Amino acid sequence: MNHLSHNKTLLLPLFKYQHQCTRTIAKVRLKWVKNRSLDHIIDKETDLKAASLLKDAIKRSSTAFITEKTVSDWQKLLGLTVPVLRFLRRYPTLFHEFPHPRWSSLPCFRLTETAHFLHSQEQTIHRNHENQTVERVCKVLMMLKTRTLPLQCLQPLKWDLGLPDCFEKTLIPKYPEFFEFARAANGVPCLRLVNWRDELAVSALQESNERSGGECEGGSGESEYVEFKRGRKALVFPMRFPRGYGAQKKVRAWMEEFHKLPYISPYVDCRNIDPNSDLMEKRIVGVLHEFLSLTIHKKTKRNYLRSLREELNLPHKFTRIFTRYPGIFYLSLKCKTTTVTLREGYQSGKLVDPHPLARHRDKFYHVMQTGLLYRAKGDLRSGEEVLTLDNMAKDEAGNGESEEEVETSDEFCEDEVSETDETSE
């Protein structure tokens, strides 16, 4: 039986079950707990992403450089809290400043040799892992109701999904058997899934349980995944509760009831499920869990998810899902935006299973920090003179930061979060 048929089979008893579980589970009102380790990662990767996008912009430029005038209004676009000119000057190991050939008072920036080398390494990683990238895009489209996504919604996600720059020109046209370009009714260009792929209609939660099940099947007892496939047990989400909760027993009792609900794959049709039921809420948790699992850094901005809300069949105030399940998600207001992170993706301040692209981005960040060290010493030499790329894999965080969490007195509610978060490419 293929995975799609299997998912449909699993749903058959759910439609009868969902009529009986409309808001029957007691809800616990939780306080928001700040995680300094995850906030540090978000802070670090905001600068990393901005530098990477600027690097790509310079590579795309016909002149091989950008001017201060060109980037003067990019601050919000890049998600920065400082002017772009100041940001570029902060990292001399990546961006070399020089006067414009015609207007000497106009600052210009080109890439250093180190930045060119890192870019070539990044392109190699994109080529070597192209099949995985295509699969990620396919899975995103497979979760959508119409299997179609406006390019203007996909563009901001290219960093999170690990897509190459100009992917709509360099990647998508190579796979006409999977994708096609289309126009929405309002004329907006879209990307559409051509063929459904049964082998991809398996969520990350199902895959992880299937792997652990395969390891346990040789034992005396049946694995959880085998029992799940036989309809005896519901899959459970990994939970990492933050410290600082006063009513731990009450919270855990609530989660135990939540886990007893049947798991619904994000790749199956949910139109017959009562939208006000606990079953639908668990399905929404599954969709958000799967989407974050597809990202390179197991996190994304809330606004990017908002642009997909209707296609993913999410409720209007879906941020409440993140705050109601703090053992699964972490919501942060760092860097003047709202970012949601999958807790299970991190351990001691580092990714549990980093993608090769994430490892390369750590090298990129190390070069950025090396530039800061030079500036602190009053030395603006280019990084190539003293930097050996063999040692760049060590992260600025060093030995790994402990996940320090601090309880706050304020509850993190949807109404308290700005509806106009800054967006970036």
What is residue 101's predicted lDDT score, i.e. its pLDDT? 84
Q: How confident is the model at residue 24 (pLDDT cuts 50, 70, 90)?
A: very low
Q: How confident is the model at residue 48 (pLDDT cuts 50, 70, 90)?
A: very high
What is residue 242's predicted lDDT score, i.e. its pLDDT? 74
pLDDT at residue 220 greater than cutoff 60: no
CA distances from 224 to 214, 253, 264 (A): 10, 20, 16
Cα gap 345→125, rounded to integer Å: 21
Give per-residue burial for 308-322: e unless 16+ CB within 10 Å, then b. beebbbbeeebbebb
CA distances from 122 to 1, 131, 342 (A): 39, 15, 25
Pairing outcome for strands 350-351 and 405-407: unpaired
What is residue 57's predicted lDDT score, i.e. its pLDDT? 96
Beta bridge partners of 181: 191
Mean pLDDT to the nearest integer, 122-140: 97
The answer to whether 344 and 326 are in contact (CB under 8 A) is: no
Count of C-beta atoms within a 10 Å radius of residue 73: 9
Could you tell me which of 339, 374, 391, 380 has the C-alpha nearest to residue 44?
339
Q: How confident is the model at residue 251 (pLDDT cuts 50, 70, 90)?
A: confident
pLDDT at residue 146 greater than cutoff 60: yes
- Residue range 408-425, pLDDT digits in tens: 444 444 444 444 444 444
Cα gap 220→86, rounded to integer Å: 63
For the chain, what is the mean pLDDT? 80
90 vs 248 pLDDT, higher one: 90
Q: How confident is the model at residue 336 (pLDDT cuts 50, 70, 90)?
A: confident
What percentage of the chain carries pLDDT values higher than 70? 74
The answer to whether 33 and 327 are in contact (CB under 8 A) is: no
SS3 of residue 425 by DSSP: coil
The values of phi and psi at residue 291, to 5°, are -65, -45
What is residue 28's predicted lDDT score, i.e. its pLDDT? 65
Q: What is the dihedral of CA 95, 101, 102, 107, to 10 degrees?
A: 20
Q: DSSP state, 415?
A: G
Could you tell me which of 73, 71, 101, 102 has the C-alpha nearest to residue 88?
71
Amino acid at 395: D
Contacts of 104 (CB under 8 A, 6+ apart): none
246 vs 250 pLDDT, higher one: 250
What is residue 235's predicted lDDT score, i.e. its pLDDT? 82
CA distances from 146 to 20, 140, 162, 196, 293 (A): 29, 11, 23, 12, 21
CA distances from 165 to 22, 25, 172, 191 (A): 45, 45, 12, 16
Sign of CA pseudo-dihedral 156, 158, 161, 167: positive
Token representation of residue 198: 């049964």
Cα gap 80→259, rounded to integer Å: 39
The answer to whether 408 and 32 are in contact (CB under 8 A) is: yes
- How does DSSP assign 89-135, residue by residue? HH-TTTEEEEE-SS-TTSEEEEE-HHHHHHHHHHHHHHHHTHHHHHH
Which ranges in 240-398 belong to alpha helices (H)? 248-260, 278-294, 302-306, 319-324, 356-376
Cα gap 368→392, rounded to integer Å: 10
